[in-house]
Structure 1
Amino acid sequence: MQTIATVCMFLAGKVEETPRPLKDVILLSYEIIHKKDPAAVQRIKLKEVYEQQKELILLGERVVLVTLGFDLNVNHPYKPLVEAIKIFKVAQNALAQVAWNFVNDGLRTSLCLQFKPHHIAGGAIFLAAKFLKVKLPSDGEKVWWQEFDVTPWQLEGWSLD
């Protein structure tokens, strides 16, 4: 499990265009995994221990890539968030900024595994409006939340979670 977690951190850096050298990922993850064993921090500095970890991580990387079908395309909620703010002509920069901050904070959780990107964007706008006590536009053919394929009840429920 720890090897796959290390592999996923290494791959995430590559996918998000913030790659870290494999050596740094190995050293840091080894240190975290063995934080209660100070001698382990020294062991990873031994060439044979490091090389063994490196081979394990590279093998794990291949396993994860094959398992995912080499599909590492990740859709983030930022695009639907920006599009919605433009569509609804929300003039308040504060609303856009707070919604953006909610998306940022949400990506540090398992939110992106639980919901689709456009649902996260809709939830962020909903929470930002609620937080700032701003009324979102509801005129026209579609009310704002329909743009995200969600209902007000879903948004309200998610905001309580």
Structure 2
Amino acid sequence: MSSTFYPLASLSQIEKSPSGEDGLPQELEEDLRAYACKLIHQAGILLKQKQVAVAAAQILFQRFWFVTSMKQFGVGDIGMGALYLASKLEECPLRMRDLINVYDLLLQRATHSVGPKSDQPFHYYPMSYFGSTFYDLKDALVVSEMQILKRLGFNVHVVLPYGTLINYLRVLGLTSHQDASTRAWGYLNDALQTPVYALYQIPTIVSAAILLTIRHLNISLPSTPPTCWWELFDADWEDVWSVCGFIMRLY
């Protein structure tokens, strides 16, 4: 990870991730990243956790796979550990048992959706607190949190984009467009399922969300040199367009 205000992946990590070096196809790695981040998001909703903690967890999760191969740890375990750690960092800690229960529910539901009885209603079967499943998940949670801290070198500072988005919308005069604010906010949340928060600076990511928003809503902003609106925020067009590509691949 590079030593910026907050850590970003290095060029060598981007060109060949640890999972890629172990032979994991890039498309599969991207799908696993997105799926595990959806699990984090769903767990946060069920636990009524704050959005800042859920977002921070997804960013830590994405960073982790630039220093570790997916062949060493399960994405579900690391996602659970990231949410547990981020909840402490954002001062809204979760009970370990609650988090384990929610992940057990989500994993059972995911298994049911791809099983032979997927056409039948899903029924959750709670685990026994004296059985092996609970203690296995508890051990996995503790190990995952420890590995995230260790492999990220305890550099777990996270910068979230929401405040920056509001400021940029005000500068561009878009705050009067309710749909613009809501849609741009949604793009930033969707981008959490991609590695962009570990690859690009926040101004670039926010500019990409605004670009997708104004194109969808047909809002006109100065886009020809030397008066390009994204240059107000020191964002490079190629980087902004690349972030847009990451986000649009989700749909």
2:86 is matched with 12
Q: How does 1:32-71 map to 2 (within 5 A)?
A: 32-33=106-107, 35=111, 44-47=127-130, 49=132, 50-71=134-155
TM-score, length-scaled by structure 2: 0.50
For residue 183 of structure 2, the aligned residue among 85, 95, 98 is 98
Say whether the 8 Å CA contact 2:221–2:229 is kept in structure 1: yes
Coordinate RMSD, CA, aligned: 3.3
Q: 1:137 to 1:92 in 2, by over 3 A?
A: farther
Matches within 5 A, 1:70-89: 70-89=154-173
SS class of match (2:157): coil
- The total of aligned residue pairs comes to 156
> Greater relative contact order (Cα 8 A, min sep 6): structure 1 or 2?
2
Aligned residue type for 2:130: K
Q: Residue 217 of structure 2: which of 132, 157, 161 is its match?
A: 132
Q: Distance in 1 between matches of 2:239 and 2:233?
A: 11
* Residue identity in the other structure for 2:146: R
Q: Which structure is higher in helix share?
A: 1
CA contact (8 A) 1:88 1:137 kept: no
1:11-67 residue CA offsets vs partner (Å, 9 max, x unmatched): 233345554321122233345556469xxx66x414252345424422332232122
Q: TM-score, normalised by structure 1?
A: 0.71
CA distance in 1, matches of 2:216, 2:87: 32
The alignment status of 1:150 with 2:235, answered yes or no, reads yes
Q: 2:203 aligns to what?
A: 118
Query: Structure 1 CA distance, aligned partners of 2:233 and 2:200?
Result: 12
Identity of aligned residues (%): 24
**What do the CA deviations read for 1:97-136 (whole angstroms, capped 9, x no partner)?**
3322322332344443343321111011111111111112
AA paired with 1:11?
Answer: L
What 5-or-longer segments of structure 2 have no aligned partner?
1-72, 116-124
Matched, 1:26 2:100: yes
